[in-house]
Chains A and B, each alone.
Chain A
């Protein structure tokens, strides 16, 4: 206002003095526990799960950089170590190679 002679290309629409609302790891963990109904048996268990959760937050950030077209973040598995996740939620055995005796599917036409 009052400076019509200036070339004002950008108009400020937010409070210039406001601090950005960045959640801490503790905030994220509280939201995680609430969202997925997580309850831990003891203080020690809680603290351990919190340390795993923080590690998984860092891992999610790494995944986001390596996989930018997906969204990575907190999931129901964020309080599990990699080996716990593998043991409890995966489970393909010997799947790293094709079974030798498997029938091969016939080749299907794919043109037109």
Chain B
């Protein structure tokens, strides 16, 4: 594995988006992973529609009663991949633009689908495996506990204590080896995470969180997706 890796430098990551006042982070995490997988499959980076997921995806987790994708009221990335697999794929962002509001009828036009899922799976809680899947398959959909993100401005986040109850969907796009941790007087490796709160949040919309001990549950629910080559 390379010591450092960043899919942004390789053209697999679209510009930072903004979910607005809508609990649709799960849809941004899912589209981000499929955008990367589609880039690897086709060589083209296409921004995909979160609003299609918000309006049309009501997939449920079969093991969790009442846990269904429900627009601004939340969802799960794996269920979004399941929906995308079943329905045939996602439309372009520009063909089905984001409004940040739910309750609208589904306006899917299947003739305009541009990216399809061929397979998706979850990765074991093992940072080497997460890094390997990131490098091999593209950006990964991950869930995280966002408690420290409300006040985050920059640097490598490495809280001494952070709950591992997952409540936010983001996109793992790379990792670095030399984020400096002043309190510990050593270089700390970190994950690079794309968020969906606009470019004014964090480091131009991105978050760095230290690697090594499943901080804030970042290693707990990591999904990889592969795209169909049409």
Contacts and interface: CB of A to CB of B under 8 A. Distances in A.
A105 B151 contact: no
Interface string B195-210: 0011011000000101
Given A82-B150, A91-B73, A98-B220, A69 B133 contact: no
Nearest to A94: B67
Contacts of A88: 21-23
B148 to A, nearest CB: 6
B188 interface: yes
Given A71-B153, A72-B148, A95-B169, A110 B128 contact: yes
Contacts of B198: 76
A104 B218 CA distance: 17
A104 B120 CA distance: 9
Interface of A: 36, 56, 59-60, 63, 66-78, 80, 82, 85-105, 107-110
26 contacts: A66-B160, A67-B148, A67-B159, A68-B183, A69-B155, A69-B188, A69-B210, A70-B153, A71-B153, A74-B153, A76-B200, A80-B150, A86-B167, A89-B25, A91-B26, A92-B75, A92-B167, A93-B68, A93-B76, A95-B167, A99-B78, A101-B62, A104-B122, A105-B122, A105-B224, A108-B132
B152 A93 contact: no
B217 to A, nearest CB: 8
A72 B155 CA distance: 9
Interface residues of B, number: 74
B81 to A, nearest CB: 10
